[in-house]
Structure 1
């Protein structure tokens, strides 16, 4: 037993002795290593694997234990001394494999670059300062080249990448770059995963190439890209090639909780002030250079889902073309911020237009939907076209089911000299007049069915400015309806019997009609009634006068008459329409009522003659026990005792 313990103790001591000797050898090896040979070996392996020829301008640190590595301070790529180097690294560390190192063989396990500065500068011909290095990497990786298997991982810590495109005037910076590169020293694939900061957002990203050499040589290679950030998520799965210009084909998807914020993040001004929140896109993509063609598109924005095809190009100016079909489209989020009326709903909004977004992109879109919603307006099957070019927007409606009828027309708006130039031409055929006029003009007093033809144009920097400059024509024809707010037949019959009976319930009831015709000419915001006729089963109406669009009020005169048998005398009553559009005053002409009264008509004629008027006044004063005292000599009489009383 004692001898066994003794032998065990000797064995343990021997092992510890060997360990101590080994550790001492490792510690002292760093002093015995040939630093020049080590540096040359590391540089050669980096150049062989990556194709990049590094040179160190600073010191070189070598360690064997506890970590086996060699660190180059102030490293950069050779051959880029004419200007800022394409790649410079504060510290480039090559971690070495320990066993080969003990045998004086220097083999790199992996490479870590601390604070690298990557600079990419692209010229107008498509070449960049990295083109020579990429060509070198591709040449070194070709089959048959002297490329022994070596390290397959490169790590980047706290790096920075700057990109400059002199032709496109693009300048971007990626900061706090932390990446892990799986270099294709064993397989043909390449992959990079990590995070970086771009425009104030942290981005997680990954990219992989199934054939790295093919991609570098411009041949086809599989490509996968994933980018995830708070504003936007993006992915692509397909192939890439570069025979002349970048070509990519595959499945593309994008997702954002707020497309408005995502557009701001990528440097695109979002259109308008409303909508563009939840967004999702999936499509088959074909990209050549800066042009993208999307097929099998499935796009969702603000709850609207559509399918079709889209193309996008950026050749100095952004252009978007699309043909989409949808079930239901709700445009309310995009128009709810366009307030034509002020808060009181009686005055036009005077807030200035902001139409700068019209000049950002050219647009050519065809859109069809089974149902369209715009605020309280509901449209059935609709075909729309939108064309935006050089700051001018043209909307066309091929055909839309609206107000139980059909709508056709066009709307154009352009932005020049800080003002909006608007033109509109519409045809509404066999529509519900009450719903139509309530939506378009804010009045629902007219019911029935009819046609509306509008041709208008205006120019202004606000809705109020447009109302002031409105020119054009509007023609409304209707049938089988009614005008609410007064009953002409009842009123005329009552006043025919008793002209001075008063209006009473004049503003109640409805006036039915068989035919309606309204023709208006607009000149600088004033609508002139050129032909306004209402023909009903029991009464007729005609109107002349004006309506002010800026002040939204009427100043009209008309004649109402009862429909009677042929040869009979018709009772005619002149009347006046005055006041705001949404609540006008309609009242009969008082002079005509007095004339129709047998008792009052002579008095009206009498007071028009001065002598007779003075005599009548004298009689009235005598009856009321008042003296005709000139206004300037009337003494101040305190309220109460002494005040005259009128009987």
Structure 2
């Protein structure tokens, strides 16, 4: 127990002596020598010389440090230095200090201001300093090990690229830099603010000297923020231009918000939500090639290769394959019709996305969904260049048939110039008509060929300028909603009996031919024929695309039997597309009736009033009732007013 007490007392005594020595040293210390030693060690480790324009604080106890105020890197422009620091503090190692030796433990930069500029020729203001650091760290250089950590607090970095008109700023930078000392590696970990988001980031180089010299070095980068997470694990080199190769991963809860955050206008107004990417990346300068790509957007998963370049204009190329794709999120915001109305949408197009990026994409999928439309095996192509978008379908399985075609849209100021050509071969007409025209009244199988073009700043504008042709041929089907055979047979027997409820049943056909020509939004029926086993139809007239209504005339006929009279019934179709009026021509029905045919001639000749009266009596089964009131009309010569 006594020995323990002596040991404790001895330790306390030594500590007291050391404390007394530190207090005395703080008064007797050669501060100029200390300051010079610190400056020498910083220069020896980094190769950089600093100039302190402010005061210098030296402390030995309770903390051992030297603080330089208003520091700037030597060799920079005095007006805009590459690096300036409000306070540079070098913390000293305690034990060497007791022996009058000054060694830096670590350095802390308080409110540093880092300025990086890139001129039109690609040269940076930091190139001379990087070359100096590289020379200092070369093997055999006189660079004694002094410290291995630099901390940055409340820093700021500004970047200016005059050639590409890029200006960026990072703020509130808090970093810890592991400076190469014992090993050749370098690492930085911390946080900073960029474009309103707090970012956690880290970067490590397996060979810092090699990286500074442009030689190959291992590189790991991680960036995590609310809009986007990004990671790279591979190698980096810069012999002539920057080269990187390795594994790239990225993910975001909203690709649309991530694109907007990094300064890229998101295309369209729908989709581009959940996003994930993993690929083997190879970057040279401003171009990056991705292989073994696995990409997911809005639940769509695809694999393939991609390349991206930014040589004054952004260009994206991709060849991808997928099992199933759903394009509904990208087209559901395209509204051709006004909400809750029958009119075309008059809202102006937003065509800015057509001018942002050049795109060349090849896409294949086993299944494709676009709204209510389902496609089987499909090969798609998309090309966007200089504001013109071209979509092509090499071949797609749709409506139990095959589809091929193209769609193009180009931008001229706020006006869209649209061209569409497609062919549907041997498709199910009921599914096709339901999807494309909103009606399920047509069945059978057939072919559809369309070639249309239009120009306008809104869907209504496109409808007004629509030009082109469309043809539909079908066979072995039916038109539901009316039975033309039953109607014609009833009217053949009793022309004035009325059509009754003819909006039921269906009219079968052997062949269906529809040929339309469009001119400034008006569709003209050039050849519309329906041939059935018992009846046939022929239509002529027009339909207004902007007004969405019909003005058609037709003739319905029973297929004549041998030695039988042909019964033809003219009819009219008028009104809106979704609910037109269909009614037979009354004059033809009256002429068809043996009892009422004289009526038409009678109303034109007042001398035949007796004949008209006789017809009315026979139709009504009673004599005409005299007028109840009013002055009597004068009798015509040769006639009598008595019945």
Give the TM-score of the pair, scaled to structure 2: 0.94
How far residue 626 of structure 1 moved from its aligned partner, in angstroms, is: 3.0
> Residue in 2 aligned with 1:444?
440
How far residue 525 of structure 1 moved from its aligned partner, in angstroms, is: 0.7
> Residue in 1 aligned with 2:379?
383
Counterpart selection for 2:516 from 517, 520, 537? 520
Q: Distance in 1 between matches of 2:365 and 2:606?
A: 73
> Residue in 1 aligned with 2:70?
74
Q: Distance in 1 between matches of 2:267 and 2:223?
A: 24
> Residue in 2 aligned with 1:127?
123
> Residue in 2 aligned with 1:639?
none
Q: Determine helix, strand or coil for the equivalent of 1:500.
A: helix
> Residue in 1 aligned with 2:560?
564
How far residue 334 of structure 1 moved from its aligned partner, in angstroms, is: 0.2
Q: Determine helix, strand or coil for the equivalent of 1:608.
A: coil
Q: Which moved more, 1:74-83 or 1:20-29?
A: 20-29
How far residue 157 of structure 1 moved from its aligned partner, in angstroms, is: 0.5
1:92 aligns with 2:94: no
Q: Distance in 2 between matches of 1:136 and 1:539?
A: 95
CA pair 524-97 structure 1, distance change in 2 beyond 3 A: same
CA contact (8 A) 1:506 1:587 kept: no
Q: Distance in 1 between matches of 2:359 and 2:626?
A: 81
> Residue in 1 aligned with 2:407?
411
Unaligned 5+ segments in structure 1 are 631-647
> Residue in 2 aligned with 1:171?
167
> Residue in 1 aligned with 2:177?
181
Q: Distance in 2 between matches of 1:327 and 1:9?
A: 80
1:63-88 Cα distance to aligned partner (Å, 9 max, x none): 11111111111111001135400110
Give the TM-score of the pair, scaled to structure 1: 0.94
What are the residue-to-residue correspondences of 1:280-299 with 2, within 5 Å? Answer: 280-299=276-295
Counterpart selection for 1:555 from 533, 551, 558? 551
CA pair 611-38 structure 1, distance change in 2 beyond 3 A: farther
> Residue in 2 aligned with 1:645?
none
Q: Distance in 2 between matches of 1:628 and 1:416?
A: 71
> Residue in 1 aligned with 2:628?
626
Unaligned 5+ segments in structure 2 are 618-622, 633-643
1:517-560 Cα distance to aligned partner (Å, 9 max, x none): 00001011110001000000000100000111111111111111
Q: Distance in 2 between matches of 1:579 and 1:411?
A: 31
> Residue in 2 aligned with 1:643?
none
1:458-508 Cα distance to aligned partner (Å, 9 max, x none): 011111111111000001100011111110000010000000111111111
Across the two proteins, how many residue pairs are aligned to each other?
626
Q: Distance in 1 between matches of 2:630 and 2:451?
A: 60
1:136 aligns with 2:132: yes
CA pair 504-187 structure 1, distance change in 2 beyond 3 A: same
Q: Distance in 1 between matches of 2:611 and 2:567?
A: 34
Q: Which moved more, 1:218-227 or 1:614-623?
A: 614-623
Q: Determine helix, strand or coil for the equivalent of 1:517.
A: strand
CA contact (8 A) 1:227 1:234 kept: yes
CA pair 613-444 structure 1, distance change in 2 beyond 3 A: farther
Q: Distance in 2 between matches of 1:438 and 1:10?
A: 101
What are the residue-to-residue correspondences of 1:205-604 with 2, within 5 Å? Answer: 205-604=201-600
Q: Distance in 2 between matches of 1:275 and 1:336?
A: 9
CA contact (8 A) 2:152 2:173 kept: yes
1:27 aligns with 2:27: no
CA contact (8 A) 1:547 1:555 kept: yes
CA pair 62-625 structure 1, distance change in 2 beyond 3 A: same
Q: Determine helix, strand or coil for the equivalent of 2:492.
A: helix
Q: Distance in 2 between matches of 1:482 and 1:15?
A: 108
Q: Distance in 1 between matches of 2:161 and 2:461?
A: 43
CA pair 96-624 structure 1, distance change in 2 beyond 3 A: farther
Q: Determine helix, strand or coil for the equivalent of 1:623.
A: coil
How far residue 29 of structure 1 moved from its aligned partner, in angstroms, is: 1.6
CA contact (8 A) 1:519 1:531 kept: yes
